[in-house]
A and B are shown apart, each in its own frame.
Chain A
Amino acid sequence: MSGTAMTLTAWGALFGRDLRAFLRSRSQLSSSLLFPLMLLAILGIGVSDGLDPSRLEDGDYTTFLVPGIMAMAALFSSTFSSASFYQDRDSGMLKVFLVSPHSPAVILLGKSMGGIAIGSAQALAVLAIASAFPAIDLEYQYGVLPSLLLALLTIAGLNVLLSGTAQLLASRIRTMQGFHLVMNLVFFPLLFFSGAFFPLGDLPAWLRGIALANPLSYAVDLLQLALYADGGDGYIGLGPDLAVLGGLAVALFALGARRNPMME
């Protein structure tokens, strides 16, 4: 077997293992999907009916929330998947992987693939379920198929970025509890200042400045442009979004894959 074929086989094996573990863990499967959907229903309907957000298109906050909730689902999933690194290190499986004929980078990339695929699938599941409700009226301004492809690309890029960030954090934090704490401290503020829950266009300048320094804002903006927006006014724009998300995803993933997996 050639070197490339061996690497691909190893990636397939590691990816398949994490996917199987995820599908067998019903609590992880249901909680990571149910929470975003509950938030979409309760927060969306509550704000739409109770607060009358007239500045939004058609005053429909539930539809506005869909792209942000997709980003949140990807973020949750990425956190869960990154925790599997700690499980593998504590169970000794990581050492077993590292004595196989592959470099540490190949092993880390293989492990990340499961997280990226699961995160993307969950975000798209949120979109599929939300689209089934008549009250949710997505625009797909570039046409349904191109918009869906753009959303898919964005979600995949976002998961690559999150996976790289999680791997970098995991190289500094020794315990799973510490990792979850830091992930919550880093990722939740990023989510709140990303435009996932309120439009960035009408924010005060200082708050908009913070949002523009937040990598997650560009993913949420892309998803809103692909699925929700009817035009580009008030949004960051396709070009900057793709450049920032793509550049950061590649850079952070490359940095994350270069770390020492045994933390020594």
Chain B
Amino acid sequence: MATSPSAVDVSGLVVSYGERRALDGVTLSVPVASAFGLLGPNGSGKSTLLSVVAGLRTAQEGAVRVLGEVPSPELRRRVGVVFQESCLDPLMTLRETLSLHGRLFGMGGEALRRRIDSLLARFGLGERAGDTVGTLSGGLRRRLELARALLPEPALLLLDEPSTGLDPDSRRALWEHLHEVRAGGVTLLFATNDVTEAERECDTVAFLHQGRLVAQGEPAELKAGLKRDAVLLECNDGRAATLSREIAGWPGVGQITPAGATLHVTVDDVSAFVPRLFQAGGDGIRAIRMEPSTLEDAYFDIAGAPLHRSEEEIS
């Protein structure tokens, strides 16, 4: 069977910060022209993996090949990067921002001017070309960063949580642009901890947990392997938190995801869970629905830990 070519191949990657292993033997392969998501909580190693692929960091162990080559400054001509946090000079204009980047990539003259004009128009930034970056909204800044990353026409685009902090409209607009980019044959490798985004946008998702790759596959495939049932509990006012604490200790109960007055709960066996639930706190429950499993459930099932840590854990 013929294998499709890979845009990124990493094998046995180890990166440590002092005593802590940020990446611990990660091996994965990103097919060309695919959308590949790295899903994991903060600190799981997603950004570190992207920085190794981008050539910003060297792994202590393991091998990396990007677009068939060992990472080098020359290879970076073909790789675009959008960082998690906004990386822009607020005092530069939009045109200056793109021009500086183009010149760093060896572009210049009329060709660069035309490319900048075309990108500004494509991303709806043409009228703001002479404004300083500091006057842009978060959504427009993200668009500018995407335009900047695409300026040298990369074959691989690395995005670190590209939609974090964006409102729903900006998020949708960003993904519309990314769909166009992908349709042009560019491989997308992005880190996210947004399950909906990963489920909707990825051909392949890799679950990272504490620097290790714990699963990899198509979103539907990962969910199909889930051994648990998912249940949505609609609780009466003020009962969700109490109920969540109570059922958390029951055997067979997995991931509990609260959202306002509802709890999304994964359980080993729904036929044993529901009767016990009514015995313990039936008067606090308004409705129970069987739910389709999410990637978040699959992550919990496979990694044995939640994708999103509670506020208590974070503090």
Contact = CB atoms under 8 A, between A and B. Distances in A.
Interface of A: 1, 5-6, 9-10, 12-14, 17, 20-21, 24, 88, 91-93, 95-103, 262, 264
B79 interface: yes
B56 A101 contact: no
A97 B104 contact: yes
Contacts of A24: 91
Given A24-B91, A99-B76, A101-B74, A1 B106 contact: yes
B73 A92 contact: no
Interface in B141-160: 148
Contact of A101 (B57, B81, B105): B105
Given A10-B104, A17-B100, A102-B73, A91 B81 contact: no
Contacts of B76: 99-101
Contacts of B55: 99
B104 A100 contact: yes
Interface of B: 54-57, 73-77, 79, 81, 83, 85-92, 96, 99-101, 103-106, 108, 148
Given A92-B88, A99-B81, 7 more contacts: A17-B96, A17-B100, A99-B55, A100-B104, A101-B75, A103-B73, A262-B56
Nearest to B90: A91
B67 to A, nearest CB: 13
A131 to B, nearest CB: 34
Given A91-B88, A92-B87, A101 B103 contact: no
Given A17-B100, A101-B77, A102-B73, A93 B89 contact: yes
Contacts of A95: 56, 83, 87
B56 A99 contact: yes
Nearest to B79: A99
A196 to B, nearest CB: 33
A9 B88 contact: no
A264 B88 CA distance: 21
Nearest to B99: A13
Given A99-B79, A101-B77, A13 B87 contact: no
22 contacts: A9-B106, A12-B103, A13-B99, A13-B100, A17-B89, A91-B87, A91-B88, A92-B86, A93-B87, A95-B56, A95-B87, A96-B148, A99-B55, A99-B56, A99-B76, A99-B79, A100-B101, A100-B104, A100-B105, A101-B73, A101-B76, A102-B104
B154 to A, nearest CB: 10
B115 to A, nearest CB: 15
A17 B79 contact: no
Nearest to A96: B87
A91 B73 CA distance: 22
B90 to A, nearest CB: 7
Given A99-B56, A101-B74, A13 B103 contact: yes
A10 B102 CA distance: 9
Contact of B85 (A17, A92, A101, A262): A92
A102 B101 CA distance: 12
A14 B89 CA distance: 13
A91 B56 CA distance: 16
Contacts of A91: 87-90
B106 A6 contact: yes
Nearest to A104: B73
Contacts of B92: 17
B247 to A, nearest CB: 43
Nearest to A102: B73
Closest 5 pairs between A and B when the two form their complex, measured CB to CB? A92-B87, A13-B103, A100-B104, A6-B106, A1-B106
Contacts of A101: 73-77, 104-106
B83 A93 contact: no
Contacts of B87: 91-93, 95-96
A160 B101 CA distance: 26
B43 to A, nearest CB: 16
A93 B88 contact: yes
Contacts of B105: 100-101
A96 to B, nearest CB: 5
A5 B107 CA distance: 10
A231 B242 CA distance: 91
B57 to A, nearest CB: 8
A13 B74 CA distance: 18
A194 to B, nearest CB: 34
Contacts of B54: 99
Contacts of B79: 99
Contacts of A12: 103
